[in-house]
Structure formats: structure tokens, C-alpha cells
Structure 1
Amino acid sequence: MTRRRWIADTWNEERTSASLTGDQASHLARVLRAEPGQIFDVVAGGFLHRAEVVNVGEDAVIFTLHEEMESDAALPVHLYLAVYKFDHLEWAIEKATELGVARITPVLARRTEKHLAQASTKRVERWRRIVLESSKQSRRTEIPVVDDPATLASTLKTCTAGTRILLAETEQENTLAAALKGHAGDIALAVGPEGGWTPEEMALFSTQQWTHATLGPRILRAETACIAALAITSSIL
């Protein structure tokens, strides 16, 4: 039987002890009625351990961390995802987490609706909770970083990925699979908003050495494009 996995809120430097606090502790204590001596899998600082419950309280559940266990690393993929309708965006964030993405940057594109751009800074904490819950559900050991929303120009200036790929509806020949051949280092993938990137944004990507690539002849919704791109990237890696 697969042991239930938790992602610790706090741990000591030596990773011999870790704690769940807040909602996680309350759920483990009240709903699951955890008791000292029970064994779970606990992720602390990106490392997976077999862990034993030593103290149970509604505010904190404390574990002793035992041996470190093997775990899968995140995909070396930084997803630049334009902000669009929040329900669709949050579904994409959840699925990108399940598929192993390492980092997500919400991008305020020219075609991002004004009210969504204004609300996005208050929404980002919800997005971080989504990736936490999705990481636990998919049994990940690394929680993706979710950056604060930022303009395209400012985010592109800080991109350090060795392979940079813009998924573009205007590209007809260069496939994502072809663009990933011989990739160097980390990979950055950019997915646009409803209506796509503007010509000015496309030109900005080009000046920053992003390769334009296609996912095929069909026009995909942004969330569908995210899943397809990450699935292709994962299979190639």
C-alpha cells in the first residue's frame, strides 16, 4: 500500500525533524486522527523521507525523519504563462504542476484583460496553494516556484534558460519536438493569452533569442497548449 505523502512546512537544518502546521496539521490531526508511531512519507527541503509521527497537535504535527528515499526530479522547464481567464489559467497551473514543471511565471501580456491584470497580484497566493496541493496529489518532491505576475519585457530580461521556445500560432514548420533537439540546459516555454501574442511581443521574443515553434495545425486553447507542450517535452527529455 502506498503511504500518504506530506510536504513539510518546517524542518531543521540536519533534516532529522520536520513539522506540518496550519491546515495540513489540522487535517492530519482532526480528520485522519494521526497518532504517534504512524509512518508517512514527508518531503522536507525537496528531499523525500520515511517519517514517523512523534507528536500530534491541532496546530502542529511533528515527525522524526528517517532514511532518505529516491524520488523523481522536476522537469527543467520554466513555463511563461500569459494571464487569461482565471478558471482556465488555474486549471493549466494545476496540470503543469502534475506534469513536472519547475517554475511558472504569470505574464501580463498586451491582450491580458485589464481587470485580470489588476487582480492577478492578489490571486498569486491562491496559485501557490494550487501548486502545493497539486504537488501533494501527484506525489512530487519539489514544489514549483510561482513568480509574481510581471510584464513580458521585464520577465524576458531575467530569463537564463539555455533553450527558449515560444509556442506561436504563426509558426507553421518548426515543431516543438524539432526545437527541442540538442537542447542545452534548462528549457523555457512561453504560452500566450487568448488571441495570442501581439506582433510587437513576437518581435520582442525574437530579439531575446527565443525560437518560434508550433504544436501542429490546430488552434489550441492556452491550457491545452500547456499540457501538450509539457507532455512532448517530458517524452523527449
Structure 2
Amino acid sequence: MTRRRWIADEISGERAFLTGDHARHLAQVLRAKVGQEFDIATGGEVRRGSVVSVNPERVEFELGVVVAEEAGAVVTVAISVFKFDRMEWAIEKCTELGVARIIPVIAARTEKHLAAAASKRVERWRRIAKQAAEQSRRVTVPEVADPARLNEALTLGAGARIVLSEAEKDLDLRNAVAEGADSVVLAFGPEGGWKEDELAAFGKAGWVSASLGPAILRAETAAIAAVAVTASILNQ
């Protein structure tokens, strides 16, 4: 039987803690007992955790042996802000697919009301990422950064940097991603795509332009498809 996995809310030495909704669920719904064991993700690894104390506000674990570690290349996604319900879905699915970092980007074609409200949605996006990481039994929760302007996003990330563009006709994503790379950053435009001057800025900053093929995809579909393709190549 698969042991239930939790992502620690707090860590102190060889102790981990669940708080808030996690603690209430463990205490009141699962009725956890002292001595009961769970898998606890502590950031980069999963360790066996034995319940030391339990109440609806705070559950404490003593950490034991390492049972899993995060593996694979690091994938960062820079997603231009688009309609929030669909962006939340993209964040959830990209998390399930294993991305390490999500950077919301304010692009030229990002709708003004979405750009203005984006900073107020960050905590919600972080909760969605954490829930998705737990559901998919991730070892770590991806970082969801504060929204960045394009000129800031151009300098973020390390490794291969690829901007997805419908205008690119010569290079597709499968050929842009090198097998065995340690890290890749993928940038996705908003609804309506990148403007020409934005693509020029990417090129000047050393980014490679690539496409996902001839089909015109929704922003969230493009993000999920690109992450899936990239992860499959990197983890071969």
C-alpha cells in the first residue's frame, strides 16, 4: 500500500510540521495517531516521518530515512499572464509534469486588467502549485515567482533558453531541446502571441526561437504540450 505523502509546511532540524488545513485534515479526517508513519517531502527529498504530536493546528513529525529524491533536469516556465482560470489550469498541469519554477510575465499583449491584478493572484497560484505537487507525489513544490516585466524575464533562468513562437518556421521544439541538458527555460506568449519587438528582444538576449508545429494552440495548451515534450527529451 502506498504511504500517504505530505509536503512539510515547516522544517526545523530533524522535525517537520504540518499546519493549517493540512494539520486539520490529518488530525480530524484521517485521525492520525502518535507513532503513525507518513512520507514527508522536505525540499529535494522525501523522508519517512513518524508522528510525534497531533492537533488540528499543528502536527509534528520526527524525520527518519530518505525514501526518495528529486531527479531529472530543471525546467523553468515563463508564462505570459492570460485569463486567470486557464492560467491556473496551466500552473497545475505544469507542476504535475515536474517544472521547477514558474514565472508569470507581463507581456505587451497581456490584457491590462489581468496585468493589474496579477500580483494579487500570486498566493493563489502558489497554493495551486503546492496542491498539484502533493497530488502528483512530487518531492518539491515549484517556485511561483512574483510577476515580472518582459525585460526582467529575459535575464532569468540558466541553461538552454527557448521562446515558443508561432512565427518560427525553421526550428521545432524537439530539435531545440538538447538531450541530457541540465536545465531549460521555456517562454510562452499571451493570447495573441508575442509582438515582433518582443521576439527581437529575446533574440538579442540569446534566446532560441522554436515552434510547436503549424497548429494555433491556446496559451495553456501550448505551455502544457511544450513542458511534456521537453521533459520527455531531458529525462530519456
TM class by shorter chain equals over 0.9
Of 43-52 and 104-113, more deviation after overlay is shown by 43-52
Q: Give the structure-1-normalised TM-score.
A: 0.95
Tell me the distance in 1 between the aligned counterparts of 2:232 and 2:211. 17
Among the aligned pairs, what percent are the same residue?
Answer: 54
Please point out which of 85, 89, 92 is paired with 2:90. 92
Q: SS where residue 174 of structure 2 aligns?
A: helix
1:162-210 superposed Cα distances (whole Å, 9 cap, x missing partner): 2110110001220111111367542110011000011111111111111
Amino acid in the other structure paired with 1:11? I
Tell me the distance in 2 between the aligned counterparts of 1:187 and 1:46. 18
* Structure-2 residue corresponding to 1:12: 12
1:141-182 superposed Cα distances (whole Å, 9 cap, x missing partner): 11101100011011213x242211011000122011111136
* Structure-2 residue corresponding to 1:190: 187
Q: SS where residue 110 of structure 2 aligns?
A: coil
Q: Is the 8 A contact 1:74 1:142 kept in 2?
A: no
Deviation at residue 74 of structure 1 after TM alignment? 5.5
Correspondences of 1:105-184 after superposition (within 5 Å): 105-157=103-155, 159-181=156-178, 184=181
Could you tell me which runs of 5 or more consecutive residues in structure 2 were left unpaired when the two chains were aligned. none
Of 133-142 and 67-76, more deviation after overlay is shown by 67-76
Correspondences of 1:218-229 after superposition (within 5 Å): 218-229=215-226
Q: Is the 8 A contact 1:74 1:102 kept in 2?
A: no
Tell me the distance in 2 between the aligned counterparts of 1:162 and 1:53. 40
* Structure-2 residue corresponding to 1:41: 39
Deviation at residue 118 of structure 1 after TM alignment? 0.7
Deviation at residue 133 of structure 1 after TM alignment? 0.4
Amino acid in the other structure paired with 1:181? A
Q: SS where residue 121 of structure 1 aligns?
A: helix
Please point out which of 196, 208, 213 is paired with 2:205. 208
* Structure-2 residue corresponding to 1:55: 53
Amino acid in the other structure paired with 1:7? I
Amino acid in the other structure paired with 1:132? K
Amino acid in the other structure paired with 2:166? E
Tell me the distance in 2 between the aligned counterparts of 1:135 and 1:160. 21
**Would you say 1:235 and 2:232 are equivalent positions?**
yes
Q: Write out the 4+ residue segments of structure 1 that deviate beyond 6 Å after TM superposition.
A: none
Tell me the distance in 2 between the aligned counterparts of 1:183 and 1:149. 30
Q: SS where residue 226 of structure 1 aligns?
A: helix
1:96-144 superposed Cα distances (whole Å, 9 cap, x missing partner): 0000000010000111111111111010000000010000000001110
1:11-52 superposed Cα distances (whole Å, 9 cap, x missing partner): 223xx2111011110111111111112111111233201111
Q: Is the 8 A contact 2:109 2:190 kept in 1?
A: yes
Amino acid in the other structure paired with 2:21? D
CA RMSD in angstroms comes to 1.3
Distance 1:185 1:74, change over 3 A: closer
Tell me the distance in 1 between the aligned counterparts of 2:230 and 2:147. 24
Tell me the distance in 1 between the aligned counterparts of 2:157 and 2:164. 18
1:56-101 superposed Cα distances (whole Å, 9 cap, x missing partner): 1111001111111123336411100000000000000000000000
